[in-house]
Amino acid sequence: MKNVNYTPEMTAKIVDDYQAGITVEQIADAIDKSVRSVRSKLVREGVYVAQPKAKARKADEPTKKELLNHLETIAPFGVTGFMGATKEAINELISHFETQ
């Protein structure tokens, strides 16, 4: 006999809880299962809605490439090695050269 992870009653409860606005994390804690397990079950039941991913950057912020292009116009050296630098570090270099 196969070991059942989710009984029909448990499945109905987690679906009801999820649709009532209870988070996957809270449901997982309540039934002593992993978040991944609960999310997978909700996906199989056709009710899970993925949360939108956060934007990597704000729309009004320049990209790293744009910052490096600007730095290249004001720095007395090449900037090809700076692609691994943080945007904060590149901004500090730009500020340094613009104040001189």
Quick one: which of 87, 55, 59, 56 has its CA closest to 71? 87
Structure tokens at 56: 């990597």
List the alpha helices (DSSP H) in the chain. 8-19, 24-31, 35-44, 64-74, 87-98
Whole-number pLDDT of residue 20 = 95
- Residue 35: how many CB atoms within 10 A of its CB? 14
Contacts of residue 18, defined as CB under 8 A and 6 or more positions apart, other chains included, come to 24, 27, 42, 47, 48
Domain positions in the chain are 8-44, 64-98
- Cα dihedral 22/24/28/34 (nearest 10): 180
Read off the amino acid at residue 78: G
pTM of the model: 0.52
Whole-number pLDDT of residue 4 = 79
Q: Chunk the chain into consecutive blocks of 10 residues (it has 100) and report each block's average pLDDT, rounded to whole numbers.
A: 84 96 95 95 93 70 89 88 88 88
